[in-house]
Amino acid sequence: MRNPNQILAEAASRISGDPPKKGKKLELNSYFRSGEGHRMANRILKDNGVIPQHRHDRKDAEAVETLVTDLQRYNRKRQDLLTGYRDRLHVAREALDRYSKHVAATGRQMPVYPSDSPQDVDRRVADAESELSDPIA
């Protein structure tokens, strides 16, 4: 069985590198300059999760920045969706116009699943329109 000193020695041997500021003096002048009452009050506030006002303001500013960033990302996504929706409406409107011209020109409806390509349909509609615009002799 190992004794505590052996356990500590093994743990110390596994630690790699030196701790930061090894061999440098700690700067405690500002800490002791504030007075015992302030140190105790600050310690009590810190222990109870109260942060100074300037840190609270900074957290609020970071929250506002995050909110602004999220809103900008939301607006970009919304704009992209609206643009895509508008484009699909435009394509649907063109298809409806083409269909209406076909019905007006031929007097019959197109099949639900037309076998003709859109170019053939456009050509037929143009032919029918030209026939309707020719004077009847």
pLDDT along the chain (137 residues), means of 10: 82 70 75 79 86 85 94 92 90 86 76 64 72 57
* Exposure string for 77-105, b = 16+ CB within 10 A, e = fewer: eeeeeeeeeeeeeeeeeeeeeeeebbeeb
Closest CA to 104 of 123, 122, 133, 128: 128
DSSP secondary structure letter of residue 17: S
Q: Number of C-alpha atoms within 13 angstroms, CB side, residue 60?
A: 7
Q: What is the model's pLDDT at position 137?
A: 42
Residue type, position 78, single letter: R
Closest CA to 129 of 95, 104, 92: 104
Q: What is the model's pLDDT at position 114?
A: 56
